[in-house]
């Protein structure tokens, strides 16, 4: 090999080696607040690894389609423990509650910027099951999709244009850091949308695009025309004190096409799976006063059945898997 080819080969080997040895961060524990510890799962790190961190400014979120501003300058964080597969460090106590960005450094290089306390979206569910309706809602499930004191929002994007900004349901007490229900404006056109989520912190850098990490990635949400649910209503009698499976079966028979089944206060004892009619809304008086208690667990062979499901209304093409009806549950507690 002549000197020129040897020099090129050496340069390529050096570049390849540097890329391989650059530290990588696969996961970082959040939510995390000032003076709390972050555990980062890493690769290509060592016991001498260091961390630099900064707080993202809590400015207006703006549009997720705009180019985000440059990241602020990062400063050293206190590293508690470091190894080849993880790094533990402390969020500076002088920081405010919000979103942060950090990088892990070794003698071989620096990781890409990693964000803390921005939304990590696992899946999105709508009021129509696998879709939301105009005038309905979309529920975002994941980690840090909401943070105390923040104002979450969602952006629906189509053809590189923001069609709607969604706000959380102000009457939904179940909204937490792990789940947020957003209301869809009635004027939202049906269609398929890219989706961005913001928890109210981190300014323009705080937006996260919905894109699941699975073999067949899901990165859009679907909005469909709103369908009115049946309004036929049945009031379930108070618990009998014994098993109440037949009580529910009788009520379901009165609502074969769906509707509203209002449960009285008390504890209903059950031994069988509840199979609801399509488009049934099962409602208690409150989570504190109405309870469904499966005294006996319903079994299917060696596998547990879902305690509440809906009737089969069709089958999937090709796989012939059952398609279940849609139902709504609210204002009661479950014990099993």
pLDDT single digits (tens) 13-41: 444 444 458 999 999 999 999 999 999 99
248-287 in b/e burial notation, b at 16+ Cβ within 10 A? beebbeebeebbbbbbeebbbbbeebbbbbbbbbbbbeee
Note whether 194 and 157 are within 8 A (CB).
yes
- How much of the chain exceeds pLDDT 90, in percent? 77
Q: Is 121 exposed, middle or buried (0-12, 13-18, 19+ CB in 10 A)?
A: buried
Residue 301 has pLDDT above 90, yes or no: no
In angstroms, the Cα distances linking 104 to 14, 107, 294 are 21, 11, 49
3-class state of residue 230 by DSSP? coil
52-70 in b/e burial notation, b at 16+ Cβ within 10 A? bbbbbbbeebeebeeeeee
pLDDT category at 325 given cuts 50, 70, 90 is: confident
- Torsion sign (Cα): 181, 183, 188, 190: positive
Residues 6+ apart with CB under 8 A from 279: 229, 230, 257, 258, 259, 325, 326, 327
pLDDT of residue 214: 65
Specify the range with the lowest mean pLDDT, choosing from 36-40, 195-199, 212-216: 212-216
pLDDT category at 164 given cuts 50, 70, 90 is: very high
Cis peptide before 324 (omega within 30 of 0): no
pLDDT category at 140 given cuts 50, 70, 90 is: very high
d(CA 313, CA 66): 44
- Please report the DSSP string for 70-112 in residue order: PPPPPEE-EEEEE-SSEEEEE--TTSPSS-EEEEEEETTEEPP
d(CA 76, CA 98): 18
pLDDT of residue 122: 92
Secondary structure letter of residue 286 according to DSSP: -
Residue 260 has pLDDT above 90, yes or no: yes
pLDDT of residue 306: 86
pLDDT of residue 6: 39
pLDDT category at 303 given cuts 50, 70, 90 is: low
In angstroms, the Cα distances linking 281 to 229, 231, 261, 286, 331 are 9, 9, 6, 14, 11
* Mean pLDDT for the stretch of residues 238-258: 96
* Mean pLDDT for the stretch of residues 184-194: 96
Note whether 118 and 166 are within 8 A (CB).
no
Q: Which tens digit of pLDDT belongs to each residue from 35-80? A: 999 999 999 999 999 999 999 999 999 999 999 899 999 999 999 9
pLDDT of residue 215: 66
> Could you tell me whether strands 161-168 and 153-158 are parallel, antiparallel, or unpaired per DSSP bridges?
antiparallel
Would you give the distance in Å from CA 261 to the centre of its chain?
29
Mean per-residue pLDDT over the chain, rounded? 90
d(CA 87, CA 69): 28
């Amino acid at each position: 090999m002549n000197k020129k080819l040897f020099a090129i080969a050496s340069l390529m080997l050096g570049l390849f080696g540097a890329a391989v040895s650059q530290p990588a961060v696969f996961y970082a524990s959040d939510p995390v607040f000032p003076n709390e510890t972050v555990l980062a799962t890493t690769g290509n790190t060592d016991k001498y690894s260091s961390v630099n961190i900064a707080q993202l400014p809590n400015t207006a979120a703006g549009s997720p389609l705009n180019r985000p501003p440059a990241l602020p300058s990062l400063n050293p964080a206190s590293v508690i423990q470091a190894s080849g597969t993880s790094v533990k460090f402390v969020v500076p106590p002088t920081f405010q509650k919000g979103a942060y960005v950090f990088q892990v450094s070794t003698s071989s290089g620096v990781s890409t910027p990693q964000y803390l306390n921005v939304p990590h979206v696992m899946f999105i569910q709508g009021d129509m099951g696998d879709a939301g309706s105009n005038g309905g809602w979309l529920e975002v499930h994941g980690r840090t999709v909401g943070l105390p004191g923040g104002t979450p929002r969602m952006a629906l994007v189509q053809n590189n244009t923001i069609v709607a900004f969604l706000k959380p349901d102000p009457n939904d007490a179940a909204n937490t850091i792990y789940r947020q229900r957003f209301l869809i404006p009635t004027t939202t056109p049906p269609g398929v949308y890219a989706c961005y989520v913001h928890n109210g912190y981190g300014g323009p850098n705080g937006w996260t695009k919905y894109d699941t990490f699975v073999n067949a990635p899901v990165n859009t949400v679907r909005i469909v025309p709103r369908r009115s649910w049946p309004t036929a209503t049945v009031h379930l009698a108070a618990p009998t004190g014994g098993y109440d499976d037949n009580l529910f079966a009788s009520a379901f028979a009165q609502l074969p096409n769906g509707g509203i089944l209002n449960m009285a206060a008390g504890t209903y004892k059950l031994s069988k799976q509840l199979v609801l009619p399509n488009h049934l809304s099962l409602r208690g008086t409150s989570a504190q006063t109405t309870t469904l208690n499966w005294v006996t667990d319903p079994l299917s062979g060696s596998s547990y059945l879902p305690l509440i499901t809906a009737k089969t209304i069709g089958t999937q093409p090709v796989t012939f898997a059952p398609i279940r009806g849609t139902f709504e549950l609210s204002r009661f507690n479950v014990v099993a």
